[in-house]
Amino acid sequence: MTEITRAPGPDSRPGCGVGRYAPSPSGDLHIGNLRTAVLAWAFARAAGKGFVLRIEDLDRVRAGARERQLADLEAVGLDWDPPVVVQSDREPEHRAVVADLTRRGLTYECFCTRREIQAEIAAAGGAPHGAPGAYPGTCRDLSAAERERRRRDRPPAVRLRAQAQEVTVVDRFAGQVTGTVDDMVLLRNDGRPAYNLAVVVDDAHQGVDQVVRGDDLLLSAPRQAHLADLLSLPRVTYIHVPLVVNAEGARLAKRDGAVTLEDLQAAGFGVPDVMGWIGRSLGLPGSVATASDVLDSFTLLDLTGGPWVFHPPGKLSDSGVQP
């Protein structure tokens, strides 16, 4: 079995574990991203853990975004243990893990397009193999001759041959969560590692044992836990926190207006204003002007109110009270 290499750990916190924040450099962080980052940092530091960053750049990358993201995280008061891992630098290790799974008979080539998968799921009534929305296993048992024929039409992705249909994980807020485990993609048909593979391998590499992230990712946790089990890696502790949403209840995005730190500063609001809004959204009393204030009041955090609806201010005079 391929051994997962471990990055140097934080020497000052032996045995306490590590939390992390792992943004994608597809654009600037918005206030929802910053809120999740502050929470990930605070949960780690309150438990005496190290805290690391990882730039998850396997998909779309915008020039300069990584540098601006790190600057914004520093501006709101976060610190982290070096090095900052860049996910694309670790592709050889991702592929080595897939090669090991393949030697163990736990992968197969898949030639399906997304449209073909959606059509087959719809034709089967939405629940093929007893797993709603899951990959229906179309290519799982193709013959060698059929695989060879299909390779002439398109390059294959590589899927995990899952050993379970459901897995249960425990989340700090959601409790026991049982979710579908299907034959997830490990390598895309362009040869690049898929998210579910990379996040599991890279968390292990960085010694991460606590994952704080938005609750829109809760149902990916069983898939990732199953892969960790197959790789003989310890499962992480999950803490899925409520998202920040717009007035329509959709996940906040830059198109919603002044939502990034730069935009808000241009509208007349400084970091203390932004952190004050974040602090109030977390139910914290008193003045919150930096991440350290959140940590100081950590025992008073209230995340029971569901998503935080953020109304981007247009001008200084609009600001108000609510954002």
Residue 112 annotated as binding?
yes
The SS3 of residue 58 is coil
Residue 195 annotated as binding?
yes
pLDDT at 318 over 50: no
Alpha-carbon radius of gyration of the chain: 21
Residue 21 annotated as binding?
yes
Distance CA 55, CA 107 (A): 27
Residue 20 annotated as binding?
yes
Residue 213 annotated as binding?
yes
Numbered ranges of CATH 3.40.50.620 in the chain: 18-83+242-318, 90-230
Residue 56 annotated as binding?
yes
Give the dihedral sign, CA 181/187/188/194: positive
Residue 16 annotated as binding?
no
Residue 166 annotated as binding?
no
Residue 90 annotated as binding?
no
- DSSP letters, 305-319, are S-PEE----SSGGG-
Query: pTM of this prediction?
Result: 0.91
Give the dihedral sign, CA 10/17/218/244: negative
pLDDT band at 191 (very low <50, low <70, confident <90, very high): very high
Q: What is the mean pLDDT of residues 98-112?
A: 97
Residue 108 annotated as binding?
no
pLDDT band at 208 (very low <50, low <70, confident <90, very high): very high
pLDDT at 222 over 90: yes
- In CATH terms, the superfamily for domain 18-83+242-318 is HUPs (3.40.50.620)
CATH number for the domain formed by residue range(s) 90-230: 3.40.50.620
pLDDT at 316 over 80: no
Reported as a single tens digit per residue, the pLDDT across 260-278 is 999 999 999 999 999 999 9
Which residues neighbour 74 within 8 Å (Cβ) at sequence distance 6 or greater? none
Residue 23 annotated as binding?
yes
